[in-house]
């Protein structure tokens, strides 16, 4: 069969496979971003249809063959593309690599499993491409291992800007089919009404991720309207920790961080167990625990996984690179082994970030820089804040946001967390100034409120936490659609 005929047959086969597996559904759906969508695509169910799975794998392999691609190994984007890559490699005797989403905190701590030969070319396999962010994340991990990534094969291109974004980064995207192509086939077969096809096409055109220049001031001002948390999670430059956090925030409808400043391990674990469902982050000061053991952080880690929140050790590193490296990795607390997020002052210069990065980057941890503080008379203002933003830009592979009183960067890839929040504004006699959730989220443009005493001092902590969660989330919802200032 000629290449053109194979391509056409492949598209028809792909459309049938998607429909049969229930991977492509039409109607009225609410996406994670909160947007209403007339189409819903989910290929995870393919693993329960072994014949369809093999058929899709064969289509992907044939697409690479027809494109004349030359490559030494294959890597599937985790997780849906992993079984597809496995079938391709096992049936065609091609070496396979597996990219971990998170490095193990023991053993080799590798992010890529398999035999890596620097200089070889790795072909990426993906199921669906929207913005291209998942392919880019995988490519970056592989490239850091010394591998070349020039091409990616995808079953379905949603035509929402992913192809252009990947080409901008030097990666050619080859798709078995496009969403509009599948729609046309299903329409011809009488599976989808003409009205629905037009509705979906209109949705695609109105939800395109535009390519972004990599350099220059335009990168800061490209946000023409407020993006939802889940839309920001799909941006190609977003840090893996930020992406995880943004997705779980949208899923749980919470942008509340609990500042668990308690001195008892029992109380800390009780807070995590009871308030875990209401929060996106639990912030610790682990060195104030009177009875710290490694078992405590193991239990805390289990609760974090169970209730889907991240752990943030508020260590405020502020020393030379070599010292903070040891403070982060070793000592009594071994912070890097259990805390998703840490923070640092920028006073010591870029060395503090470089030292932390040496430990945290292989573990896929993330760092926040302290750009502003909520205490009265703080010196973290003006040029200091600008320096923090610049340092974050220079280290965006590890730094994903700021501790600040307001939005200090217009880049949607960066998150802003604001402490000193209470439902009733005011202050204390030690110089702490308090703002309301509405002021912080709606007016100052921050993303996450950090609340401690406002919840911990309440007789019913869960009830109080829910008040803060609802206030912060409603402020975020009201902010969506409001044009951001350049």
At residue 170, φ and ψ (nearest 5 deg) are: 85, 20
Cis link prior to 79 (omega < 30° from 0)? yes
What is the chain's length?
Answer: 486
Q: Which of 316, 354, 444, 470 is catalytic?
A: 316
Is the CB of residue 323 less than 8 Å from the CB of residue 299?
A: no
Q: Which of 261, 319, 393, 397 is catalytic?
A: 319
Is the CB of residue 440 less than 8 Å from the CB of residue 446?
A: yes
Strand pairing class (96-99; 112-113): antiparallel
Q: Is 319 a known active-site residue?
A: yes
Q: Is 428 a known active-site residue?
A: no
Rounded CA gap, 69 and 63, in Å?
9
Of 410, 291, 404, 426, the C-alpha closest to 343 is: 404
Active site residues: 316, 319
């Amino acid at each position: 069969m000629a290449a053109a005929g194979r391509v056409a047959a492949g598209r028809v086969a792909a459309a049938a496979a998607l429909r049969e597996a229930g991977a492509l559904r039409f109607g009225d759906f609410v996406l994670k971003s909160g947007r209403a969508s007339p189409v819903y695509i989910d290929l995870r169910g393919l693993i329960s249809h072994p014949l369809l799975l093999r058929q899709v794998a064969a289509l992907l392999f044939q697409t690479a063959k027809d494109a004349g691609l030359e490559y030494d190994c294959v890597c599937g984007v985790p997780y849906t593309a992993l079984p597809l890559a496995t079938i391709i490699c096992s049936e065609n005797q091609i070496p396979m690599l597996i990219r971990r989403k998170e490095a193990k905190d023991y053993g080799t701590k590798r992010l890529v499993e398999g035999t890596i030969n620097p200089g070889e070319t790795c072909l990426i396999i993906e199921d669906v491409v929207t913005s291209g962010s998942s392919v880019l994340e995988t490519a970056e991990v592989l490239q850091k291992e010394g591998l070349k990534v020039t091409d990616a094969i995808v079953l379905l291109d949603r035509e929402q800007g992913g192809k252009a974004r990947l080409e901008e980064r030097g990666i050619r995207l080859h798709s078995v089919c496009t969403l509009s192509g599948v729609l046309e086939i299903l329409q011809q077969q009488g599976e989808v009404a003409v009205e629905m096809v037009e509705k979906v096409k209109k949705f695609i055109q109105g939800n395109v991720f535009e390519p972004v220049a990599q350099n220059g001031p335009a990168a800061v001002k490209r946000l023409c309207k407020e993006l939802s948390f889940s839309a920001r999670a799909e941006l190609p430059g977003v840090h893996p920790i930020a992406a995880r956090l943004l997705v779980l925030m949208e899923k749980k409808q919470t942008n509340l961080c609990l500042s668990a400043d308690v001195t008892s391990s029992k109380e800390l674990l009780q807070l995590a167990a009871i308030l875990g469902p209401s929060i996106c982050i639990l912030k610790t000061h682990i060195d104030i625990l009177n009875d710290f053991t490694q078992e405590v952080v193991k239990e805390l880690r289990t609760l974090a996984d169970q209730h889907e929140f991240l752990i943030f050790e508020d260590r405020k590193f502020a020393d030379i690179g070599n010292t903070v490296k040891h403070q982060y990795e070793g000592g009594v607390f071994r912070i890097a082994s259990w805390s998703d997020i840490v923070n640092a002052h920028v006073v010591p210069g870029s060395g503090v970030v470089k030292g932390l990065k040496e430990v945290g980057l292989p573990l896929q941890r993330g760092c926040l820089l302290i750009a502003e503080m909520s205490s009265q008379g703080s010196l973290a203002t003006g040029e200091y804040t600008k320096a923090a933003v610049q340092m974050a830009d220079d280290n965006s592979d590890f730094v994903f946001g700021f501790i600040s009183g307001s939005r200090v960067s217009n880049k949607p890839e960066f998150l802003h967390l604001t402490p000193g929040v209470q439902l009733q504004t005011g202050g204390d006699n030690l110089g702490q100034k308090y703002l309301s959730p509405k002021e912080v989220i709606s007016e100052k443009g921050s993303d996450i409120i950090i609340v401690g005493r406002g919840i911990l001092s309440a007789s019913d902590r869960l009830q109080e936490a829910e008040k803060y969660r609802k206030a912060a989330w409603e402020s975020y919802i009201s902010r969506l659609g409001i044009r951001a200032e350049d």
